[in-house]
Every structure is written in C-alpha cells, then in structure tokens.
Amino acid sequence: MSEQVLILGLQYAGYVLEVVLFVLLARSGRLRRLKGLCLYVTALFLIDGIARPIALHCWGLESPSHRYFYFYWLTDIVLALGQFLLICAFFRRACAREEKMWRFARLMLVFALVLVGAISALFLTRNYSQLFTSFIIEFSQNLYFTCLVLNTLLFVMIQQFSIEDEELGLLVCGIGVQFAGEAACLAFVHLTLNENFSRGLLTLLGPVCTLGMLLTWIYAISKAGEPVRDRARTDRQAALAEALSD
C-alpha cells in the first residue's frame, strides 16, 4: 500500500512539474525557439497525465481484452518517437553553425531509425504469431536504447566541439537522466529474468527519472544563459544602439 502511494505521489509530482515547465517556457518567451521541447512536454502531459489515467479508470489494469495493456504500449510508441524527434531537434541546434555536420547528423539519425525498424521487424519474423508483443513493444524498447546512444553522442559532440550553449547542454543532460535510468533498470529486469523485485524497481524508477529530467529542464530554462547566437545578436544590437547614440 505504501509503495503504491509513493508511486502515485511521484507521478502527480511529475504532472505538476510538466505544467510548471510549460508555464515557464511561455513566460520566458521560448515557446517558439524551443518548440520541439514544448511539443514533447505537451504530449507527455496529455498521454501520461490525462489519457492513460482515463483509460485505466475506464478499462482497468486487468481487463479481459487487455485494452489498457495495448493502449499503454501504443502510447509508449508515441512518446518514444517524440523523444527521438526531440533529440533530432537538439542535434539541429548543436549543428546550427555547421551545415556539413548537420547533413551528416541527419543521415545518421535517419539510418538509426531505419535500423531500429528493421531489427524490430526481424524479431517479428521469429514471432509472427504475436504481432503486438513481437513488434510494437520490441520497437519501443529498441528505440529507447537507440535514443540513449544518440543522446550520449550528442553530449560528447557538444563537449568535443566546445559548443557554448549552456541551455542546450542542460537540456541534453536532462533527457539523458531519463534514458540512462530506465535503460539500466530494463537491463536489470532482463538479467533477473523479469522477477517481481526488478519489475517493481522499474515501476518506481520510471517516475523518479522523469522527475529528474523535468527538474533539470526547469533549471535549464530558468537559470541557463542565452545561447551564443542569441547573445551575439544582443551584443550587436547593443553596439549599434551605442554607435547611434554617439
């Protein structure tokens, strides 16, 4: 009972932070510049905060037709694709000044998505009698691990090329918290052959990782400095104003 209360508390804390983050984005005037982040946070709130609880209330966790089970994993595909597209947006921002680098990164991202789909389809050929569990769940989990690798590459690229964008660095670290925690727990589940303890740990760790991601993003939006290109534009405007005043 106490564990269930803790999980619910973590989930509702996440819903509150999602609203806080969106309000902070709106108040800081960054909805347009960070539209990828805004769209993902909105999708996360609509799916995890509204759609899934309503589906759980209407169908129940152990419905005979497994409706909630199917609905959960279908929406998980949406969130996984949303995270992939968000990482694509982060790559685009990191390569804003290097068009050749962006062309290479774009090719790599497309190849990664196609490769995940191909590997998941290959798994389906060995388990064609179970279409849903063989492809949709496999594709979702493979995409999460791929996003973890891509996010790590992005972080290394930011450090290697000394990209002076504090906000982007914090945003990348935030989503890295989500990926790393869940990936480690999923690996632990597989190693322990899906025991009750490991499944309970995954249920608990998921909301904790989401809280860590949201808190990091809130800090990035509220405390991080402007991106270099924005500061440069501001400096040029200040210099022009000073020249005109002289």
Choose between 241 and 45: higher pLDDT: 45
Confidence bin at 240 (pLDDT 50/70/90): very low
- Give me the mean pLDDT over the 176-191 stretch: 76
Q: How far is CA 24 from its chain centroid?
A: 18
Q: What global pTM score does this model have?
A: 0.84
Task: Supply the pLDDT for residue 147.
Answer: 93
Average pLDDT, the chain: 83
Among the ranges given (28-32, 100-104, 188-192), the one the predictor scored with the smallest mean pLDDT: 188-192
Q: Yes or no: say if 208 and 9 are a contact pair by the CB < 8 Å rule.
A: no
* 86 has pLDDT over 90: yes
CATH of the domain at 158: 1.20.1070
* Structural domain count, the chain: 1
Task: Supply the pLDDT for residue 40.
Answer: 95
For residue 44, the enclosing domain spans: 2-245
